[in-house]
Structure formats: structure tokens, C-alpha cells
């Protein structure tokens, strides 16, 4: 026997007393301490590499020191972005300011390209006008120390970026590792010049390092621009969501219109939940709460929005957004050729298509 819901006046509806416990963890964390670490590392490596260049006269070491200046500028930009991203949501920015990190990553990508251009130009000039290298041993030792500093700080930033899903920190880590690669290339060039006495090799290696840095900068720019365009969650995250929805999909329940997106450190998703129209509001609410809880347990911090609809109502199938992830779930579990489901076997997409129950597949 179907349950029926009784409509009562608003005065008779009980409301919980006090404010509910916060459901989502606060992702507006202040991660600026990591930016300060990067700033300190940049200052130390600038001093070390400038000293190495002054001792040896190597254009490679000069370009390496120039890139550390770019690292310092990038770290300052990262500090500003992290401070902005840590600001709490308010009436103007109701979803917070986490996208500020994308601007930082884009700026870092541009700075990397500028550094690469400077390195390549200097390398060409030194190739045309080669100069001998002096004090190779002490210069290389100083460069190695600077590389160890950058590599260690880069590892700390990378781990923090992965832990807090901060594009700013992962971008800064990539930048520092790019600096390490630059330093290794420069060291190789200096050693080759020392062994062969062919001074142009220093410039050739420096130019090759510049090309490698260009590739890194372009990749970072693409990653930041994708974030600004509300790219969907990574495939592994989407698969986890679909797996949970699959467990809850049955003959009388289904889902469609799944959308996911990344915004800085935060993740969002929304999905339409189709249940029997005979369910009470309490039943539907409890069902959605369970699904939301499971997804939030699997993907901590994700913001889940569910939209409840009666599965029998054709209108429930008229509001599926154009940009959505296919969910081959629901109904009697019979997938159609378009990724939807034909619950009644008549060829229509009943659950996750663009047609109403029993309607023609489009």
C-alpha cells in the first residue's frame, strides 16, 4: 500500500532548534605559510646562483640565477592568491574565492615562459660570442646546493598541493622542479665545457633547457585555463560518484543530469534523483541525504546538490542539462544504445536520456 503525505499548516511543522552542525569541511584554509617557504627558498637560491655565476662567468649559471628571480616573483603572486582564496564566502562571493588560485597558476605559467625566453636569448648571444668558464669546481658546488634547496621545497609544496588540492602550490612545485632541471642542464653544460674546452656547449645546453621550460609553462597555462572554464572532475572522481549512484539505482529509483566541476580547491556536483511519486517528502529527503553522505565520504569536501523528482512524471525528463555525464543506470537496468535506460523495453530512454519515459530516443 502506497504511503501518502499529509499537508499541514506551516505552524504545525516542527523545525529543529538552533543552528545545524556544519555539514561540509571548511576548505578556505590559509596556505600562505607554504608561499612564504617558497619566497625564502627563492631568496636563498638567488644568492647562491648569483655567486656561482660571478665565480665562473657561465651564461648557463647566469640564466639559472635569472630563473630564480622569476621564482621569487611567482612566489609573491602565489602568496597573494592563497590569501585571497582563504577568504571566507560572503554575500558577494557566495561560493568563496578559491578560483583566485587559477590566476596565480596562469601568472606562474607566463613567468615561466618569460624566464625561458630570457634564457634562450642569452644562450644565443653567448653562442655567437663564447667566453671561457672559470672556477668550475666551486661554481658547480654552489649550484648543486641551490638545486637541493629547490628540490626539497618543491617536494614540500607538491605534497601540500596534493593534500589540499591547491593548484597554486602544485604550480609552484612544478616551477621549482623546472628550476632544478635547469640547474642540472647548466651543470652538465659547464662540465662539458670544462672537459672539451668547447665554450659554445654552455650556450647549447642553456638553450635546450629553455625549450624544456617553455613546455612546462604552456602545460601550466592550459591547466589553469581549464579550471577557469569549469572543467569536470577527474575521471577517477567521476567514476566513484557513478559507482555510488549505481548502488542506489533500482527498478523504482534512478538518476540523470549528473554534472561535476572543479573550482580551485573545491569540488561540486549536482544530480537529479528520480523516486516514486508516492514517497513522502521525508522519504525522499532521507534517500537523498544517504546518497549525499556516501559521496561526501568518498570525496571529502565535495559539495553535493540533489534535485528530487517523481520518476513517473514526464516533466522530470524535460530539464536534463545539455552538458551532463551519462549514467547508464536505473529502471529495469536495460541500457539503450545512447547510454540511457529502457525500463519498459519499448526503445525509449527512460532514465538518463533526453526523452521522457517511453518516448523516442533522440
Same domain, residue pair 123 and 51: yes
Give the residue from 145, 163, 159, 175 showing the smallest Cα distance to 38: 175
Same domain, residue pair 213 and 287: no
Min mean pLDDT across 42-56, 191-205, 346-360 is at: 346-360
Tell me, yes or no, whether 2 lies in a domain: no
Could you give the CA distance from residue 108 to residue 294 in angstroms, rounded to a whole number?
A: 37
Please, which pLDDT band fits residue 339 given cuts at 50, 70 and 90? very low
Tell me, yes or no, whether 12 lies in a domain: no
Say whether pLDDT at 210 is over 60.
Answer: yes
Say whether pLDDT at 7 is over 70.
Answer: no
Give the residue from 60, 56, 69, 70 showing the smallest Cα distance to 183: 60
Same domain, residue pair 193 and 240: no
Same domain, residue pair 329 and 356: yes
Please, which pLDDT band fits residue 305 given cuts at 50, 70 and 90? very high
Say whether pLDDT at 329 is over 60.
Answer: no
- Which whole-number Å values give the CA distances from 55 to 135, 136, 156, in the listed order? 6, 8, 31
3-class SS shares of the chain: helix, strand, coil, % to 5: 55, 10, 35
Same domain, residue pair 57 and 122: yes
Tell me, yes or no, whether 112 lies in a domain: yes
Say whether pLDDT at 186 is over 60.
Answer: yes
Tell me, yes or no, whether 262 lies in a domain: yes
Tell me, yes or no, whether 90 lies in a domain: yes
C-alpha cell of 321? 542539462
Question: Looking at residues 154-169, what average pLDDT do you find?
Answer: 88
Tell me, yes or no, whether 330 lies in a domain: yes
Q: Which of 208, 228, 248 is the last residue of a domain?
A: 228
Say whether pLDDT at 341 is over 90.
Answer: no
Same domain, residue pair 54 and 178: yes
Residue 28: the pLDDT is: 55
Portion of the chain with pLDDT greater than 90, in percent: 24
Positive or negative CA dihedral for 350, 353, 356, 360?
A: negative
Same domain, residue pair 172 and 279: no
Secondary structure class of 46 (helix, strand, coil): helix
* 103 touches 33 (CB < 8 A): no
Residue 345: the pLDDT is: 39
Q: How far is CA 289 from the centre of its chain?
A: 27
Give the DSSP letter string of 279-310. S-HHHHHHHHHHHHHHHHHHSTT-EEEEEEEE
72-127 pLDDT per residue, tens: 888 888 888 888 888 887 888 887 787 887 887 788 788 878 878 877 887 888 78
C-alpha cell of 172? 609552484
Same domain, residue pair 263 and 223: no
Secondary structure class of 259 (helix, strand, coil): strand
If one counts the domains in the chain, the total is 2
Give the residue from 296, 301, 268, 237 showing the smallest Cα distance to 27: 301
Residue 240: the pLDDT is: 94
Q: Which of 175, 206, 228 is the last residue of a domain?
A: 228
pTM: 0.62
Could you give the CA distance from residue 299 to residue 292 in angstroms, rounded to a whole number?
A: 10
15-37 pLDDT per residue, tens: 344 444 455 544 556 788 999 99
Q: Which residues lie across from 325 on neighbouring strands? A: 258
Question: CATH number for the domain including 111?
Answer: 1.20.1510.10
Q: How many residues does the chain have?
A: 362
Same domain, residue pair 126 and 236: no
Kind and range of the H or E run holding 304? strand 303-310
Q: Which of 201, 228, 255 is the last residue of a domain?
A: 228
Question: CATH number for the domain including 245?
Answer: 3.30.70.1350
Tell me, yes or no, whether 201 lies in a domain: yes
Could you give the CA distance from residue 362 to residue 354 in angstroms, rounded to a whole number?
A: 7
Tell me, yes or no, whether 13 lies in a domain: no
Could you give the CA distance from residue 223 to residue 295 in angstroms, rounded to a whole number?
A: 25
Same domain, residue pair 149 and 214: yes
* 341 touches 332 (CB < 8 A): yes
Rg (CA), the chain: 28
Same domain, residue pair 51 and 118: yes
Give the domain range for residue 95: 32-228
C-alpha cell of 284? 525522499
User: Where is pLDDT greater, at 183 or 359?
Assistant: 183
With a CB cutoff of 8 Å and minimum separation 6, the contacts of 212 are 178, 181, 182, 185
Residue 29: the pLDDT is: 67
Could you give the CA distance from residue 60 to residue 126 in angstroms, rounded to a whole number?
A: 9
Min mean pLDDT across 14-23, 169-178, 185-194 is at: 14-23
Residue 226: the pLDDT is: 76
Same domain, residue pair 64 and 173: yes
Amino acid at each position: 500500500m502506497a504511503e501518502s503525505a499529509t499537508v499541514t499548516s506551516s505552524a504545525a511543522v516542527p523545525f529543529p532548534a538552533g543552528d545545524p552542525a556544519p555539514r561540509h569541511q571548511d576548505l578556505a584554509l590559509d596556505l600562505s605559510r607554504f608561499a612564504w617557504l617558497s619566497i625564502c627558498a627563492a631568496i636563498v637560491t638567488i644568492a647562491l646562483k648569483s655567486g656561482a655565476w660571478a665565480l665562473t662567468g657561465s651564461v648557463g649559471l647566469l640564466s639559472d640565477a635569472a630563473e630564480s628571480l622569476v621564482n621569487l616573483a611567482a612566489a609573491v603572486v602565489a602568496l597573494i592568491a592563497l590569501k585571497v582564496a582563504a577568504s571566507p564566502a560572503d554575500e558577494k562571493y557566495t561560493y568563496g574565492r578559491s578560483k583566485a588560485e587559477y590566476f596565480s597558476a596562469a601568472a606562474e605559467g607566463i613567468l615561466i615562459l618569460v624566464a625561458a625566453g630570457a634564457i634562450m636569448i642569452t644562450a644565443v648571444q653567448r653562442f655567437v660570442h663564447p667566453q671561457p668558464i672559470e672556477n668550475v669546481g666551486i661554481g658547480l658546488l654552489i649550484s648543486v646546493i641551490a638545486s637541493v634547496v629547490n628540490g626539497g621545497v618543491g617536494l614540500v609544496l607538491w605534497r601540500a598541493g596534493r593534500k589540499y588540492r591547491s593548484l597554486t602550490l602544485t604550480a609552484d612545485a612544478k616551477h621549482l622542479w623546472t628550476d632544478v632541471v635547469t640547474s642540472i642542464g647548466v651543470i652538465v653544460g659547464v662540465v662539458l665545457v670544462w672537459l672539451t674546452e668547447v665554450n659554445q656547449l654552455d650556450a647549447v645546453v642553456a638553450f635546450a633547457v629553455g625549450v624544456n621550460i617553455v613546455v612546462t609553462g604552456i602545460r601550466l597555462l592550459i591547466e589553469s585555463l581549464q579550471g577557469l572554464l569549469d572543467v569536470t572532475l577527474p575521471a577517477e572522481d567521476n567514476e566513484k560518484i557513478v559507482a555510488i549512484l549505481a548502488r542506489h539505482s533500482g527498478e523504482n529509483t534512478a538518476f540523470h543530469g549528473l554534472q561535476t566541476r572543479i573550482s580551485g580547491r573545491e569540488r561540486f556536483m549536482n544530480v537529479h534523483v528520480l523516486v516514486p511519486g508516492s514517497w513522502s517528502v521525508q522519504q525522499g529527503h532521507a534517500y537523498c541525504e544517504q546518497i549525499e553522505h556516501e559521496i561526501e565520504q568518498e570525496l571529502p569536501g565535495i559539495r553535493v546538490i540533489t534535485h528530487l523528482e517523481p520518476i513517473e512524471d514526464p516533466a522530470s525528463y524535460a530539464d536534463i542539462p545539455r552538458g551532463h555525464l551519462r549514467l547508464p543506470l536505473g529502471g529495469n537496468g536495460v541500457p539503450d544504445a545512447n547510454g540511457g535506460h529502457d525500463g519498459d523495453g519499448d526503445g525509449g530512454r527512460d532514465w538518463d536520456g533526453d526523452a521522457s519515459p517511453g518516448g523516442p530516443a533522440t
